[in-house]
Amino acid sequence: MLSMSLFHYTDVHAVHSILLNKKLWLTNIQFLNDSQELREGIRYLINALECPPLELFENFNYRGKAIEYLGSALGDTVDCGVDSESIFVFSLSRTGDLLSQWRAYGSYAIEFDERRLMDFFSTLHPCVYDSKLKVDKSTAAVMDAIKKISQDMGCSHGCTSSVSGDSLEVLVKLAATFKDGGFSEEQEVRVIAGLSENSDLIKYRPKGDILIPYLEVAIPMDCVKAIHVGPMGSQSLACNSMSSFTHDVERSWQMDSLNIEYWLQVKRSSIPYRG
């Protein structure tokens, strides 16, 4: 299987932290730069709930209650703050050396091996930019959720179990992949995690006047293929110091994993610096 690359654009502090601690930080989606992002995704799902097609395997006695449950739960999701329904994301791009990403997120990019990330996280979620595709995906996902939740209610005398909670989480994760078409050049792919019962795992970091909730997820170092140094005036110096640091990281992982073939590259952006 051909190994593809995914890029996480960031600053030098995050590169240092990820390589040193072998952990990714997944940020609560409500605290990302675009605060309307999740709301727009939820809107597509709620619109799909208004006239959902019939599904052969629904429990028709509880169809209406299932729709009501989903409408209420989805509406609450965007205003709930940090609770058991929270969604956390880590953003990646299929596009390397993209000027808009350097400008927006920092002077470094971590290149990940997509296949190794898939081995570790099971599912990666490509973002959806096309409006028609958002409608189609929302309709299909809502139909499946109504089927499962109505069946769940039928087995529980109108109540819900973890089956319904899981179905709701699938919908919210889908909403978390919907982005405005103006950002399509990023070709974003997301690691998405639900908090579920692990509220004790939430950590907080200060940013301006706000504490940002996030989850730490440990990763094997061989998920990381290279560190890219973006356009900057001191690019040569930055590459030299990063190469020294990654050499130490590389040797440490070779010893810890007994994988003596592991190699962590440092690469320069080909975009000229404009000071």
Averaged pLDDT of the chain: 90
133 sits in which H/E element: helix 131-155
The 10s digit of each residue's pLDDT in 197-238 is 455 688 999 988 999 999 999 999 999 999 999 999 999 999
Q: What percent of the chain is predicted at pLDDT more than 70?
A: 92
DSSP 153: H
Residue 104: pLDDT above 80? yes
* Distance of alpha carbon 143 from alpha carbon 138, whole angstroms: 8
- pLDDT digit string, tens, across residues 21-31: 999 999 988 88
Please report the pLDDT score of residue 197 as a whole number: 46
Classify residue 230 as exposed, middle or buried by CB count within 10 Å of its CB (0-12, 13-18, 19+): buried
Coil, strand or helix at 177 = coil
Task: Report the C-alpha gap between 160 and 252 in whole angstroms.
Answer: 49
Percent of the residues in the chain that have a pLDDT greater than 90, as a whole number: 76
Average pLDDT estimate for 101-119: 94
Burial of 5 (0-12, 13-18, 19+ CB in 10 A): middle
pTM score: 0.90
What is the per-residue burial (b if ≥16 Cβ within 10 Å, else e) of 70-97? beebbeebbeeebeebbbbbbbbbebbb
Please give the Cα distance from 58 to 178 (Å, whole number).
27
Contact residues for 40 (Cβ-Cβ < 8 A; gap 6+): 178, 180
